[in-house]
Amino acid sequence: MARKPRILISDGIYHIYNRANNRRSINFASQTFDCFLGLLKDIKVQFDVDIFAYCLMKNHYHIFLRTKRPNLDEVMKYFGENYAKYINYVTNGNGSVFSGRYNAKIVLEDAYFLQVLRYIHLNPVESGTVGDFLDYDWSSAKEYGSERFKVVSPDLINDYFLNFDDFVSYHRMGNTREILSYYSRKNVPNRLHSRIFEKSLNLM
């Protein structure tokens, strides 16, 4: 079956995620998280992208970003290849680290921008890893809380939230039924917009 073509546009906002091959671990606490963050900093500078959120789980990752040029494939080729090399190095392994090419869901409506941000930060809670999203050490939530922005764009919290308490309150409301329904589908659509949600919730 042919793979769906990428949607590559300037100012494209994408939720990127990928899962490890055979459920192998890609997160060994601070050691691999430092590499993960280093590569995110690299792609910001080298490929001119804005990063809004990230989360490194035990066997998968999430990145929420905007490409200012239609270069997502170049961005993720650099990130994926270098992170895989590092994982193989620290585990003395070889072969494919990830189960396949990365997933990229383009967010086409502002209404879902914050929902995706929250979904990423709540991933450790939804998985049962932690009880509160601020207790997870390997996501961008703590970066927003520290106000020492190293990877994420600081404009986000100023544009969408009154302050950090407002940011926390929004997250603690939990994911909406529609966003959970969207990501639970076997074949998740590449475009994130209202008509997709209307169909998934049987509203059309």
pTM of the predicted protein model: 0.88
Q: What is the DSSP secondary-structure string of the chain?
A: -PPPPP---TTEEEEEEEEBGGG-----THHHHHHHHHHHHHHHHHHTEEEEEEEE-SSEEEEEEEESSS-HHHHHHHHHHHHHHHHHHHHT--S-SBSSSPEEEEE-SGGGHHHHHHHHHTHHHHTTS-SSGGG-SSBTHHHHHHT--SSS-THHHHHH-SSHHHHHHHHHT---HHHHHHHHSSS--SEESHHHHHHHTT--
Tens digit of pLDDT for each residue in 99-142?
778 889 999 878 789 999 999 999 999 999 999 999 999 999 98
* CATH topology (fold) of 12-200: Alpha-Beta Plaits (3.30.70)
**Ranges of each domain in the chain:** 12-200
Of residues 71 and 33, the one with the higher pLDDT is: 71
